[in-house]
Amino acid sequence: MKKVRIGVLTGGGDCAGLNPALKWVVKTAMDERLEWERGVRYEVLGIRDGWKGLVGIDLSSPDTQGSIVPLNPDIVRTWDRYGGTMLGTSRFSPYDPKNACHGLVRENIERLGLEAVIAIGGDGTLAITTRLSREGVNVIGIPKTIDKDLPETDYTLGYETALNVIVEEVDRLRTTAGSHKRIFVVETMGRTAGWLALEGGEACGAYIILIPECEFSIDRVNELVMEGRRSGTRYEIILAAEGARTVGGNEVVKKEGMDSFGHKALGGVGAVIARQIEEATGLETRSVVLSHLQRGGAPCAYDRRMGRYFGIAAVDLVVREKYGNMVSFRNGKISYSPLENIYGKLRLVDVATQYDADRYNGRRSMLNNGRKKNVNKNQS
Protein backbone atom coordinates (compact mmCIF):
# COMPACT_ATOMS: atom_id res chain seq x y z
CA MET A 1 0.00 0.00 0.00
CA LYS A 2 1.24 3.47 -0.89
CA LYS A 3 2.41 5.52 2.11
CA VAL A 4 2.03 9.30 2.24
CA ARG A 5 3.15 11.70 4.96
CA ILE A 6 1.34 14.98 5.68
CA GLY A 7 1.95 17.75 8.21
CA VAL A 8 -0.49 19.87 10.19
CA LEU A 9 0.08 23.11 12.11
CA THR A 10 -1.79 25.90 13.86
CA GLY A 11 -0.68 29.52 13.47
CA GLY A 12 -1.58 32.99 14.74
CA GLY A 13 -3.72 33.58 17.82
CA ASP A 14 -5.08 30.57 19.65
CA CYS A 15 -8.82 29.93 19.96
CA ALA A 16 -11.35 27.23 20.67
CA GLY A 17 -11.91 24.84 17.75
CA LEU A 18 -8.28 24.25 16.84
CA ASN A 19 -7.96 20.99 18.73
CA PRO A 20 -11.16 19.51 17.26
CA ALA A 21 -9.81 20.28 13.78
CA LEU A 22 -6.45 18.70 14.62
CA LYS A 23 -8.16 15.61 15.99
CA TRP A 24 -10.22 15.06 12.88
CA VAL A 25 -7.37 15.70 10.49
CA VAL A 26 -5.52 12.84 12.21
CA LYS A 27 -8.50 10.51 12.60
CA THR A 28 -9.64 10.98 9.01
CA ALA A 29 -6.17 10.65 7.52
CA MET A 30 -5.38 7.50 9.50
CA ASP A 31 -8.81 5.82 9.40
CA GLU A 32 -8.12 2.13 8.71
CA ARG A 33 -11.35 1.55 6.78
CA LEU A 34 -10.69 4.53 4.53
CA GLU A 35 -7.11 3.35 3.93
CA TRP A 36 -8.35 0.38 1.89
CA GLU A 37 -10.81 2.51 -0.04
CA ARG A 38 -8.10 5.04 -0.92
CA GLY A 39 -5.25 2.63 -1.37
CA VAL A 40 -3.13 5.05 0.63
CA ARG A 41 -1.82 4.89 4.19
CA TYR A 42 -1.30 8.35 5.65
CA GLU A 43 1.14 9.33 8.36
CA VAL A 44 0.52 12.64 10.15
CA LEU A 45 3.22 14.82 11.67
CA GLY A 46 2.23 17.63 14.00
CA ILE A 47 4.30 20.78 13.54
CA ARG A 48 4.75 22.74 16.76
CA ASP A 49 4.41 26.53 17.10
CA GLY A 50 3.07 27.30 13.64
CA TRP A 51 5.42 28.01 10.75
CA LYS A 52 8.21 28.52 13.27
CA GLY A 53 8.24 24.78 13.81
CA LEU A 54 9.59 24.25 10.30
CA VAL A 55 12.72 26.30 11.03
CA GLY A 56 15.80 24.87 12.73
CA ILE A 57 14.68 21.24 12.62
CA ASP A 58 17.26 18.62 13.59
CA LEU A 59 16.21 15.66 11.47
CA SER A 60 18.85 13.46 13.09
CA SER A 61 17.01 13.63 16.42
CA PRO A 62 13.99 11.41 17.12
CA ASP A 63 12.94 13.71 19.98
CA THR A 64 9.15 13.91 19.71
CA GLN A 65 9.05 16.82 22.15
CA GLY A 66 10.83 19.03 19.63
CA SER A 67 9.37 20.78 16.61
CA ILE A 68 7.87 17.69 14.98
CA VAL A 69 5.47 15.32 16.74
CA PRO A 70 4.15 12.09 15.16
CA LEU A 71 0.39 11.95 15.71
CA ASN A 72 -2.08 9.10 15.73
CA PRO A 73 -5.75 8.59 16.70
CA ASP A 74 -4.88 7.47 20.23
CA ILE A 75 -2.87 10.62 20.93
CA VAL A 76 -5.60 13.00 19.69
CA ARG A 77 -8.59 11.04 21.04
CA THR A 78 -9.56 13.61 23.69
CA TRP A 79 -8.21 16.77 22.08
CA ASP A 80 -11.59 18.08 20.93
CA ARG A 81 -12.60 18.70 24.56
CA TYR A 82 -9.97 21.37 25.09
CA GLY A 83 -9.43 24.97 24.04
CA GLY A 84 -6.24 26.41 22.60
CA THR A 85 -3.96 24.19 20.53
CA MET A 86 -2.05 21.14 21.67
CA LEU A 87 0.58 21.85 19.01
CA GLY A 88 1.24 25.38 20.17
CA THR A 89 1.21 28.43 17.93
CA SER A 90 3.10 31.59 17.05
CA ARG A 91 2.84 34.67 14.86
CA PHE A 92 6.12 33.79 13.19
CA SER A 93 6.28 34.57 9.47
CA PRO A 94 9.06 33.11 7.31
CA TYR A 95 8.45 36.01 4.92
CA ASP A 96 9.11 38.69 7.53
CA PRO A 97 12.35 40.43 6.46
CA LYS A 98 13.66 39.92 10.00
CA ASN A 99 13.35 36.15 9.49
CA ALA A 100 13.64 35.71 5.69
CA CYS A 101 13.61 31.93 5.90
CA HIS A 102 10.79 30.81 3.60
CA GLY A 103 13.36 28.94 1.50
CA LEU A 104 14.38 26.97 4.57
CA VAL A 105 10.72 26.21 5.32
CA ARG A 106 10.30 24.77 1.82
CA GLU A 107 13.50 22.74 2.17
CA ASN A 108 12.45 21.27 5.51
CA ILE A 109 9.02 20.32 4.16
CA GLU A 110 10.85 18.35 1.47
CA ARG A 111 13.37 16.89 3.93
CA LEU A 112 10.53 15.69 6.15
CA GLY A 113 8.95 14.02 3.14
CA LEU A 114 5.66 15.86 3.53
CA GLU A 115 3.33 15.44 0.58
CA ALA A 116 1.21 18.32 1.92
CA VAL A 117 0.86 20.69 4.86
CA ILE A 118 -2.53 21.54 6.37
CA ALA A 119 -2.36 24.99 7.98
CA ILE A 120 -5.07 26.10 10.41
CA GLY A 121 -5.10 29.86 10.87
CA GLY A 122 -6.40 33.32 10.11
CA ASP A 123 -5.43 35.94 7.56
CA GLY A 124 -1.75 36.02 8.55
CA THR A 125 -1.22 32.26 8.61
CA LEU A 126 -3.17 31.73 5.40
CA ALA A 127 -1.28 34.55 3.67
CA ILE A 128 1.91 32.58 4.35
CA THR A 129 0.16 29.42 3.15
CA THR A 130 -0.82 31.17 -0.09
CA ARG A 131 2.72 32.39 -0.77
CA LEU A 132 4.14 28.91 -0.17
CA SER A 133 1.53 27.55 -2.58
CA ARG A 134 2.76 29.97 -5.23
CA GLU A 135 6.24 28.52 -4.71
CA GLY A 136 5.04 25.00 -5.38
CA VAL A 137 4.34 23.70 -1.87
CA ASN A 138 1.25 21.50 -1.54
CA VAL A 139 -0.89 23.22 1.09
CA ILE A 140 -4.46 23.21 2.37
CA GLY A 141 -5.92 25.90 4.64
CA ILE A 142 -8.50 25.67 7.41
CA PRO A 143 -10.07 29.01 8.46
CA LYS A 144 -9.61 29.99 12.10
CA THR A 145 -10.13 33.37 13.73
CA ILE A 146 -12.45 34.69 16.41
CA ASP A 147 -12.78 37.84 14.28
CA LYS A 148 -14.66 35.92 11.53
CA ASP A 149 -13.07 38.27 9.00
CA LEU A 150 -11.90 35.80 6.34
CA PRO A 151 -13.63 35.99 2.95
CA GLU A 152 -14.99 32.97 1.07
CA THR A 153 -16.39 31.38 4.24
CA ASP A 154 -19.38 32.11 6.46
CA TYR A 155 -17.64 30.67 9.51
CA THR A 156 -14.19 30.55 11.06
CA LEU A 157 -13.21 28.32 13.96
CA GLY A 158 -13.33 29.94 17.39
CA TYR A 159 -15.95 32.56 16.62
CA GLU A 160 -19.00 31.04 18.30
CA THR A 161 -17.10 30.18 21.48
CA ALA A 162 -15.78 33.76 21.66
CA LEU A 163 -19.35 35.08 21.28
CA ASN A 164 -20.44 32.89 24.17
CA VAL A 165 -17.68 34.36 26.34
CA ILE A 166 -18.82 37.90 25.54
CA VAL A 167 -22.41 37.11 26.48
CA GLU A 168 -21.39 35.34 29.70
CA GLU A 169 -19.13 38.19 30.82
CA VAL A 170 -21.68 40.90 30.00
CA ASP A 171 -24.34 38.97 31.92
CA ARG A 172 -22.03 39.09 34.94
CA LEU A 173 -21.39 42.80 34.51
CA ARG A 174 -25.12 43.54 34.49
CA THR A 175 -25.45 42.65 38.15
CA THR A 176 -22.88 45.23 39.29
CA ALA A 177 -23.93 47.76 36.65
CA GLY A 178 -27.52 47.63 37.84
CA SER A 179 -26.57 47.71 41.51
CA HIS A 180 -24.51 50.89 41.11
CA LYS A 181 -26.34 52.57 38.19
CA ARG A 182 -23.12 52.44 36.19
CA ILE A 183 -22.31 52.51 32.52
CA PHE A 184 -19.91 49.79 31.41
CA VAL A 185 -17.89 50.02 28.21
CA VAL A 186 -16.79 46.52 27.26
CA GLU A 187 -13.91 46.30 24.80
CA THR A 188 -13.87 43.27 22.52
CA MET A 189 -11.34 42.09 19.98
CA GLY A 190 -11.72 43.13 16.35
CA ARG A 191 -9.10 45.42 14.83
CA THR A 192 -10.73 45.84 11.40
CA ALA A 193 -13.87 43.72 11.49
CA GLY A 194 -16.66 44.30 14.00
CA TRP A 195 -18.37 40.90 13.94
CA LEU A 196 -17.54 40.02 17.55
CA ALA A 197 -18.75 43.36 18.92
CA LEU A 198 -21.81 43.50 16.68
CA GLU A 199 -23.15 39.98 17.05
CA GLY A 200 -21.92 39.69 20.63
CA GLY A 201 -23.70 42.95 21.39
CA GLU A 202 -26.87 41.77 19.66
CA ALA A 203 -26.77 38.51 21.64
CA CYS A 204 -26.27 40.17 25.04
CA GLY A 205 -28.58 43.12 24.39
CA ALA A 206 -25.96 45.88 24.49
CA TYR A 207 -27.39 49.41 24.38
CA ILE A 208 -24.65 50.76 22.08
CA ILE A 209 -22.30 48.82 19.77
CA LEU A 210 -19.27 50.50 18.19
CA ILE A 211 -17.47 48.79 15.30
CA PRO A 212 -14.43 49.60 13.11
CA GLU A 213 -16.50 49.73 9.92
CA CYS A 214 -18.50 52.76 11.11
CA GLU A 215 -16.74 55.75 12.66
CA PHE A 216 -18.66 57.10 15.64
CA SER A 217 -19.32 60.50 17.16
CA ILE A 218 -18.71 60.65 20.90
CA ASP A 219 -21.31 63.41 21.08
CA ARG A 220 -23.87 61.03 19.59
CA VAL A 221 -22.83 58.31 22.04
CA ASN A 222 -23.39 60.71 24.93
CA GLU A 223 -26.71 61.77 23.48
CA LEU A 224 -27.87 58.15 23.28
CA VAL A 225 -26.72 57.52 26.87
CA MET A 226 -28.73 60.48 28.14
CA GLU A 227 -31.76 59.37 26.10
CA GLY A 228 -31.56 56.05 27.88
CA ARG A 229 -31.40 57.62 31.31
CA ARG A 230 -34.32 59.93 30.54
CA SER A 231 -36.36 56.90 29.49
CA GLY A 232 -35.73 55.29 32.90
CA THR A 233 -32.88 52.87 32.27
CA ARG A 234 -30.79 52.20 35.37
CA TYR A 235 -27.57 51.29 33.57
CA GLU A 236 -26.12 50.84 30.06
CA ILE A 237 -23.81 48.30 28.47
CA ILE A 238 -21.70 49.57 25.57
CA LEU A 239 -19.66 47.19 23.42
CA ALA A 240 -16.71 48.61 21.49
CA ALA A 241 -14.43 46.67 19.16
CA GLU A 242 -10.75 47.42 19.77
CA GLY A 243 -10.50 48.96 16.30
CA ALA A 244 -13.47 51.34 16.75
CA ARG A 245 -12.57 55.00 16.18
CA THR A 246 -14.17 58.41 16.19
CA VAL A 247 -15.04 60.30 13.01
CA GLY A 248 -11.76 61.34 11.42
CA GLY A 249 -9.77 59.75 14.23
CA ASN A 250 -7.36 56.82 14.49
CA GLU A 251 -7.43 53.53 16.35
CA VAL A 252 -6.17 53.53 19.93
CA VAL A 253 -2.79 51.79 20.03
CA LYS A 254 -1.45 50.35 23.29
CA LYS A 255 2.14 50.04 22.02
CA GLU A 256 4.09 50.99 18.93
CA GLY A 257 5.24 48.57 16.26
CA MET A 258 3.74 45.60 14.46
CA ASP A 259 4.00 41.84 14.76
CA SER A 260 5.37 39.53 12.05
CA PHE A 261 1.93 39.44 10.42
CA GLY A 262 1.90 43.23 10.09
CA HIS A 263 -0.72 43.83 12.80
CA LYS A 264 -0.80 46.82 15.13
CA ALA A 265 -1.14 46.20 18.87
CA LEU A 266 -4.53 47.84 19.44
CA GLY A 267 -6.15 48.36 22.82
CA GLY A 268 -7.52 50.99 25.17
CA VAL A 269 -10.44 52.38 23.19
CA GLY A 270 -12.87 51.25 25.90
CA ALA A 271 -11.09 53.28 28.57
CA VAL A 272 -10.99 56.34 26.32
CA ILE A 273 -14.72 56.13 25.59
CA ALA A 274 -15.56 55.56 29.26
CA ARG A 275 -13.59 58.64 30.31
CA GLN A 276 -15.23 60.80 27.64
CA ILE A 277 -18.73 59.65 28.62
CA GLU A 278 -18.16 60.33 32.31
CA GLU A 279 -16.66 63.76 31.63
CA ALA A 280 -19.55 64.78 29.37
CA THR A 281 -22.51 63.26 31.26
CA GLY A 282 -21.37 63.07 34.87
CA LEU A 283 -22.52 59.44 34.97
CA GLU A 284 -20.22 56.90 36.58
CA THR A 285 -18.64 54.92 33.75
CA ARG A 286 -16.23 51.99 33.90
CA SER A 287 -14.43 50.03 31.21
CA VAL A 288 -13.63 46.34 30.98
CA VAL A 289 -11.27 44.78 28.44
CA LEU A 290 -12.19 41.17 27.63
CA SER A 291 -8.97 40.68 25.67
CA HIS A 292 -7.70 37.08 25.69
CA LEU A 293 -10.67 35.81 27.69
CA GLN A 294 -12.42 35.67 24.32
CA ARG A 295 -9.86 33.17 23.06
CA GLY A 296 -9.90 30.92 26.08
CA GLY A 297 -11.94 28.05 27.42
CA ALA A 298 -13.28 24.81 26.03
CA PRO A 299 -14.85 24.91 22.55
CA CYS A 300 -18.62 25.16 22.42
CA ALA A 301 -20.65 22.44 20.67
CA TYR A 302 -20.70 24.38 17.41
CA ASP A 303 -16.91 24.81 17.29
CA ARG A 304 -16.42 21.13 18.08
CA ARG A 305 -18.67 20.18 15.18
CA MET A 306 -17.17 22.70 12.76
CA GLY A 307 -13.65 21.65 13.76
CA ARG A 308 -14.63 18.09 12.92
CA TYR A 309 -16.13 19.02 9.56
CA PHE A 310 -13.23 21.28 8.56
CA GLY A 311 -10.66 18.65 9.56
CA ILE A 312 -12.37 15.94 7.56
CA ALA A 313 -12.78 18.23 4.54
CA ALA A 314 -9.09 19.22 4.63
CA VAL A 315 -8.04 15.57 4.39
CA ASP A 316 -10.57 15.06 1.58
CA LEU A 317 -8.77 17.81 -0.36
CA VAL A 318 -5.41 16.14 0.27
CA VAL A 319 -6.75 12.81 -0.98
CA ARG A 320 -8.10 14.52 -4.11
CA GLU A 321 -4.87 16.50 -4.48
CA LYS A 322 -6.84 19.76 -4.54
CA TYR A 323 -3.94 21.76 -3.20
CA GLY A 324 -3.86 25.54 -2.90
CA ASN A 325 -7.37 25.67 -1.43
CA MET A 326 -8.99 26.60 1.88
CA VAL A 327 -11.84 24.63 3.38
CA SER A 328 -14.92 26.85 3.65
CA PHE A 329 -18.50 26.91 4.89
CA ARG A 330 -20.87 28.64 2.49
CA ASN A 331 -24.67 28.70 2.46
CA GLY A 332 -24.89 25.87 4.97
CA LYS A 333 -22.50 23.53 3.13
CA ILE A 334 -18.85 22.54 3.54
CA SER A 335 -16.90 23.46 0.42
CA TYR A 336 -13.55 24.96 -0.53
CA SER A 337 -12.13 28.07 -2.21
CA PRO A 338 -8.77 28.95 -3.76
CA LEU A 339 -6.36 30.50 -1.29
CA GLU A 340 -5.72 33.23 -3.86
CA ASN A 341 -9.31 34.43 -3.32
CA ILE A 342 -8.54 35.02 0.36
CA TYR A 343 -5.08 36.56 0.09
CA GLY A 344 -4.97 40.19 1.25
CA LYS A 345 -8.75 40.41 1.68
CA LEU A 346 -11.07 40.72 4.68
CA ARG A 347 -14.76 40.06 5.28
CA LEU A 348 -16.19 43.15 6.99
CA VAL A 349 -19.58 44.15 8.37
CA ASP A 350 -21.71 45.76 5.67
CA VAL A 351 -22.87 48.87 7.50
CA ALA A 352 -25.64 49.58 4.98
CA THR A 353 -27.39 46.23 5.55
CA GLN A 354 -26.15 44.90 8.91
CA TYR A 355 -25.82 47.93 11.19
CA ASP A 356 -27.89 50.89 12.36
CA ALA A 357 -25.49 53.84 12.06
CA ASP A 358 -27.86 56.20 13.86
CA ARG A 359 -28.58 54.06 16.94
CA TYR A 360 -25.06 52.53 16.89
CA ASN A 361 -26.56 49.07 17.18
CA GLY A 362 -27.72 46.09 15.17
CA ARG A 363 -30.23 46.63 12.40
CA ARG A 364 -33.93 46.90 13.28
CA SER A 365 -35.31 45.67 9.96
CA MET A 366 -34.81 42.22 8.46
CA LEU A 367 -37.31 41.91 5.62
CA ASN A 368 -36.02 44.78 3.51
CA ASN A 369 -32.44 43.46 3.83
CA GLY A 370 -31.27 46.93 4.73
CA ARG A 371 -32.08 48.41 1.30
CA LYS A 372 -32.78 51.76 2.95
CA LYS A 373 -29.27 52.88 3.75
CA ASN A 374 -28.53 54.01 7.32
CA VAL A 375 -27.71 57.69 7.53
CA ASN A 376 -26.33 59.23 10.70
CA LYS A 377 -27.26 62.86 10.71
CA ASN A 378 -24.77 63.46 13.50
CA GLN A 379 -21.87 62.41 11.27
CA SER A 380 -22.75 64.60 8.28
Q: Residue 237 maps to which CATH number?
A: 3.40.50.460
Note whether 59 and 15 are within 8 A (CB). Answer: no
Instruction: Let me know whether 25 and 134 are in one domain.
Output: yes
Instruction: Let me know whether 265 and 330 are in one domain.
Output: no
Instruction: Let me know whether 29 and 144 are in one domain.
Output: yes
Instruction: Let me know whether 204 and 109 are in one domain.
Output: no
> Which active-site residues does the annotation give?
147
Instruction: Let me know whether 143 and 167 are in one domain.
Output: no
Instruction: Let me know whether 224 and 366 are in one domain.
Output: yes
User: Which residue range(s) make up the domain with 324?
Assistant: 2-157+299-341
Instruction: Let me know whether 182 and 274 are in one domain.
Output: yes
Mean pLDDT per 10-residue segment, the chain (380 residues)? 96 97 98 94 97 84 72 98 97 91 94 97 97 98 98 98 97 94 96 97 97 98 96 95 95 73 81 97 96 95 98 98 98 98 96 96 80 47
Instruction: Let me know whether 143 and 175 are in one domain.
Output: no
Instruction: Let me know whether 281 and 172 are in one domain.
Output: yes
Instruction: Let me know whether 285 and 369 are in one domain.
Output: yes
* Tens of pLDDT, residues 303-357: 999 999 999 999 999 999 999 999 999 999 999 999 999 999 999 999 999 999 9
CATH of the domain at 89: 3.40.50.450
Instruction: Let me know whether 119 and 228 are in one domain.
Output: no
For the chain, how many structural domains are there in total? 2
Instruction: Let me know whether 258 and 304 are in one domain.
Output: no
Tell me the whole-structure pTM to 2 decimals.
0.92
